[in-house]
Amino acid sequence: MYNLIVFASGNGTTLQSIIDAIQNKKLEANILLVVSNNPNAFALERAKKANIPTYVIKEKTSDKIDEELYNVLSNLDVDLIVLAGYLKLIGKRLISNYKIINTHPSLLPKYGGKGMYGMNVHRAVVEAKEEFTGVTLHYVNSEYDRGPIIKQTIVKVLPEDTAEDVSAKVQAVEKIQLVEALQEFSKEKNNSNSK
């Protein structure tokens, strides 16, 4: 079985798409833990409803968060960490010990970096009158949205689209792209285990 840890800071719609894919047998994986820096994140409720253990980060500074999470995760058999709307920078210890991916709501390198998440990205895309935007799935390194790109999906932006319209389009393809990538990771693991 392919073991995931999901980090989320907010509503958890991306987490829900992973849960649904597992429950609908579209993804052979197991979410070992949902981690959040926000004790009020609805993602935690989604996890509890699906009987997935949750963990709320206690520390406040980056270095201490890195150490805290490493200590929590080191006891688990983790194949992949998925950042699904997680708004904190990942520390060096986690990066050097785990494969970590992030889904970002733009075609990186455009509209990435600190503070560029959710509606901030979609408003910037609309204000710049971009013809296209999309979703980027990338590996995580020590800089916001700078890791190697795994996959991108393009979304057409119509002249009359609002930031909310763009958000809805992007979220729809984001969930599909992420689940497809997770299916690939799971297949790769199964193939290497069967050799």
State how far Cα 56 lies from the chain centre. 17
Q: If you average pLDDT over every residue of the chain, what do you get?
A: 94
Structural domain harbouring 154: 2-193
Tokens of 169: 């389009």
Nearest to 74 by CA among 5, 2, 19: 5
CB atoms closer than 10 angstroms to residue 187:
12
Q: Is 104 a catalytic residue?
A: yes
Task: Please give the span between the terminal C-alpha atoms of the chain, in angstroms, as a whole number.
Answer: 16
pLDDT for the residue 191: 78
CB atoms closer than 10 angstroms to residue 150:
17
Tokens of 184: 């690939």
Tokens of 105: 């709501």
3-state secondary structure of 21: helix
Looking up residue 163, the CATH number of its domain turns out to be 3.40.50.170
Domain count, the chain: 1
CA distance 122 to 72: 34
Instruction: Exactly one of 16, 31, 104, 186 is catalytic; name it.
Output: 104
Strand order in the sheet with 54-56: 54-56, 29-36, 2-7, 80-83, 100-104, 132-139, 149-156
- Specify the pTM: 0.94
CA distance 90 to 178: 19
CA distance 152 to 137: 6
pLDDT one-digit tens code per residue, 103-130 = 999 999 999 998 999 999 999 999 999 9
pLDDT one-digit tens code per residue, 128-175 = 999 999 999 999 998 889 999 999 999 999 999 999 999 999 999 999
